[in-house]
Structure 1
């Protein structure tokens, strides 16, 4: 796969080295080292350039990202919905019961398998890089990076809490109109998967919530949630902590069988595009099983 990026040098970057300029555009030193392996991967005014070359006003810098594909993911035709796609990113509405990556018991039923098939059908070779991961049973929006550069920039945005995610959940009982949950989370002793609130050993965790609707007959609340930290199972653990566990959550609410999965959906995504720097906003409708329960 190749991604060609063209830059016209403006006044703030006069006398920058190419390396310094690329670092400011979000390239990592690892990506710059990778570029050096390929002839003409960096050209300045149509001539092969070194990263120590200096830039002048109105110079044309072209970077060709070449990425050999070493793909051992089995392509499988699976149902999923694409919300948006360009040369650098893909936004997917992930269905329920679909893991993100292949594992021992999920070799050919994952989002990685589905996208490998999709890209091959388009005669594209793309390394699978999921930026915003979701649990197997959680539905909703995921960002996929289609090249090294977009992945690097989006991962930095994730680390800096610049990718804003809003979730929708259905919880037991009538939840307060709004509030915040500030309770540290750690792995439960003797468990690889289960998390719990632990004020001695846990990592700082904070969740904001807002009740959108209450169904008195079913005694369930539709709740909007925003994460201010990114701990594993954070929403599920925090809602259990305030005695409003998620419907259908076999791990943290095993006695509730109103749904056959946890009622959790990644509803909104907002972030800055890694290459164009445009503000991106996406929404995915509440899935049918959650709508039916409401």
Structure 2
């Protein structure tokens, strides 16, 4: 057995194997080379079952970049289920950040109407169980009825680093939305300037003096016979209510969004979900990527009749 392959046995469990990275590579290619007794399907199963760790952290993306000196662990057992709380699922945690999948209906942080049950309060209670001195800082927000990937900082320093370098640090921010009607063309870019009124409604303008620049790219993914479309949306800017306003701009509002022009609510919630977030870790510089699965109600809505 080579020095780069070291088995570790945990009592009562199967063997874990540590593999040291010697040259830059993508995770799948590295595993194919190091695990000749497993085919690609076997390796995909290991990734799906969260049995592949890089420097102790679970990664499920086959194209995750590896650097020399990192240790890839092939766990002999499936990882325990992701920690869940009422309203959110904990996707990732390290000494600096917490990443969650927030459910629709949960506030990001306290408002005048609700102060107790928010994503912030749930996570704040969680980290204070380790130490009462622990504090939580919000990096970005999702609307109450929007679900998906959301990130918090464990220190003011990390919050500041993320917010001040947001456009450089965030590599990808992808949403999916169900909209009324089917956009034409099926892919495009929406650009405008957004400004919020005193009534907390965001307005769109083509005048640069009337707000902040907002850019949204959209692609139609699926459609229904009765005139709804599933869009993938990638943000180049992160303004408040940006996607909701831009969908209203092109006359294809998000279902359930009466505030911005929707006339229907076929899934009984706002049809917006933050699916993917990729960023550079503010402390380690590591490339991070997290995904929140498409909500079941979205999947069911676009399921083809048999």
**TM value normalised by structure 2:** 0.65
- Choose the corresponding residue for 1:232, options 236, 240, 261: 240
- Choose the corresponding residue for 2:206, options 185, 193, 199: 199
Q: Runs of 4 or more off by more than 4 Å in structure 1?
A: none
Matches within 5 A, 1:1-294: 78-123=86-131, 125-160=133-168, 162-175=170-183, 176-188=185-197, 191-200=198-207, 201-216=210-225, 218-294=226-302
Counterparts of 2:267 and 2:248, CA distance in 1? 17
1:100 shift after superposition? 1.1
The SS at the match of 1:267 is strand
Counterparts of 1:182 and 1:141, CA distance in 2? 24
Q: Contact 2:171–2:278 at 8 Å: present in 1 too?
A: yes
Q: Contact 2:180–2:262 at 8 Å: present in 1 too?
A: no
1:79 to 1:136, Cα distance in 2 relative to 1, 3 A: closer
Q: Contact 1:207–1:238 at 8 Å: present in 2 too?
A: yes
Counterparts of 2:178 and 2:253, CA distance in 1? 9
1:186 shift after superposition? 2.2
Q: Contact 2:255–2:262 at 8 Å: present in 1 too?
A: no
Contiguous gaps of at least 5 residues in structure 1: 1-76
Quote the RMSD (CA, aligned, Å). 1.9
1:236 shift after superposition? 0.6
1:161 shift after superposition? 6.0
